[in-house]
């Protein structure tokens, strides 16, 4: 097995406003032709054999390309610090923890206003429904799933040799992930890690962490009902904070109701586990996370932020890294 790099390794893919994948050419960024999509993934996104976990991260509102990369680097650094501090005791099945990440970037900039919020909300929805974002991200997940080492082929013990696939989204980026996973949904209901993985999936995801999701509280029952039957072996976990004004104040005015990122998951097609975000020295019991939907109250953690968005972007915290690594640990 090759050696993991000292710094977090992040590969980036960029989507244009219609949701199609872009590539750099001598004439500037151009869409990847549909017949070359899988070849493009093979050239740029083959998981290395040193990786234990594959992370796909989609950023949110008002996040430029450099800021998106910086945010993911920050999250990975927090994970590394948490693992170095207490990894052996807190995450006994993460031996070792060597993540490899793919950053999905998309045009999300707008003015910090009601009009700007609505414009990016509509763009995110259009990119995934009338555009190609759901299919492109879905095919990306299918490619990664096909080329990772299969966790199911390894013994059910600590130090399993397989590579685990985790999705992380922030704000409107959560919608892209939900649309992509729903696009690939078929087959019987699964309820968590304790349920055997259904056969015949286009891909299978081991956990899905949605940070301050910009969507109505009933999104999982009205907008993404197929997530209850999606190719998810692990849970859909969504954080919220009452200090998040982007999904509180702005979302209320844009959609006449507060969002998941402000008040948590409301109705869903399966029971919702409601828990409190824990500090890094407290362990998450398996029974708290082993559900199809988990709503995590981070109102005591995500508190920082000035301006109209409030604490919407205060998710890059050690407690978030601890939650992500707990999901990765339990997925074993």
Tens of pLDDT, residues 148-173: 876 654 333 223 457 899 999 999 99
Candidate ranges 1-15, 60-74, 106-120, 202-216; pick with highest mean pLDDT: 60-74
Q: What is the pLDDT of residue 321?
A: 97
Q: Please choose, from the candidates 8, 97, 99, the residue with its C-alpha nearest in 3D space to the C-alpha of residue 47.
A: 99
Query: How many Cα atoms occupy the beta-carbon half-sphere of 215 within 13 Å?
Result: 30
- The dihedrals phi and psi of 2, each to the nearest 5 degrees, come to -70, 165
What is the mean pLDDT of the segment spanning 82-104?
91
Q: Where are the beta strands (DSSP E) in 26-86?
A: 28-31, 53-58
Distance, in Å, from the CA atom of 276 to the CA atom of 297, rounded to the nearest integer, reads: 5
Q: What percent of the chain has pLDDT over 70?
A: 87
What pLDDT does 227 receive?
76
Confidence of residue 225 (pLDDT cuts 50, 70, 90): confident
- Mapped onto helix, strand or coil, the DSSP state of residue 163 is coil
If one compares 117 and 58, the residue with the highest pLDDT of the two is 58
Please enumerate in sequence order all residues whose Cβ is within 8 A of that of 311, keeping only pairs 6 or more positions apart, or say none: 241, 243, 244, 245, 302, 303, 304, 305
Please report which confidence band the pLDDT of residue 101 belongs to, taking 50, 70 and 90 as the band edges: very high
Cβ-Cβ contacts under 8 Å for 329 (sequence gap 6 or more) = 90, 91, 92, 93, 94
pLDDT class for 217, splitting at 50, 70, 90?
A: very high
Report how far residue 281's alpha carbon sits from residue 322's, in angstroms, rounded to the nearest whole number.
9
Supply the pTM of this predicted model: 0.90
Q: What are phi and psi of 53, to 5 degrees?
A: -140, 140
Is it the case that residue 328 has pLDDT exceeding 60? Answer: yes
Report pLDDT digits (tens) over 284-295.
999 999 998 999
């Amino acid at each position: 097995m090759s050696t993991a790099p000292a710094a977090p390794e992040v590969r980036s893919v960029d989507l244009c406003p219609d949701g199609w994948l872009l590539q750099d050419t001598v004439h500037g960024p151009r869409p990847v032709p549909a017949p070359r999509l899988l070849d493009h993934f093979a050239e740029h996104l083959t998981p290395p054999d040193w990786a234990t976990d594959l992370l796909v991260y989609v950023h949110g509102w008002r996040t430029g390309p450099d800021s998106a990369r910086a945010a993911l680097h920050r999250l990975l650094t927090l994970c590394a610090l948490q693992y170095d501090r207490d990894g052996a005791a807190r995450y006994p099945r993460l031996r070792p923890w060597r993540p490899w990440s793919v950053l999905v970037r998309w045009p999300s900039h707008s003015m910090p206003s009601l009009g700007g919020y609505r414009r990016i909300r509509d763009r995110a929805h259009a990119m995934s429904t009338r555009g190609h974002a759901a299919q492109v991200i879905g095919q990306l997940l299918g490619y990664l799933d096909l080329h990772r080492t299969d966790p199911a082929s390894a013994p059910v013990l600590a130090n399993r040799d397989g590579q685990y696939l985790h999705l992380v989204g922030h704000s409107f980026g959560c919608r892209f992930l939900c649309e992509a996973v729903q696009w690939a949904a078929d087959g019987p209901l699964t309820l968590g890690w304790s349920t055997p993985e259904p056969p015949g999936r286009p891909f299978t995801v081991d956990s899905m962490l949605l940070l301050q999701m910009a969507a109505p509280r009933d999104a999982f029952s009205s907008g993404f009902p197929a997530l209850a039957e999606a190719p998810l072996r692990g849970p859909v976990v969504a954080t919220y904070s009452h200090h998040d004004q982007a999904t509180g104040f702005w979302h209320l005015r844009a959609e006449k109701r507060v969002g998941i990122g402000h008040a948590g998951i409301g109705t869903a097609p399966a029971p919702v586990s409601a828990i409190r975000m824990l500090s890094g020295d407290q362990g998450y019991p398996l029974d708290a996370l082993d559900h199809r939907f988990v709503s995590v109250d981070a109102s005591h953690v995500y508190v920082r932020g000035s301006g109209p968005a409030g604490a919407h972007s205060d998710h890059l915290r050690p407690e978030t890294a601890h939650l992500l690594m707990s999901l990765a640990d339990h997925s074993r």
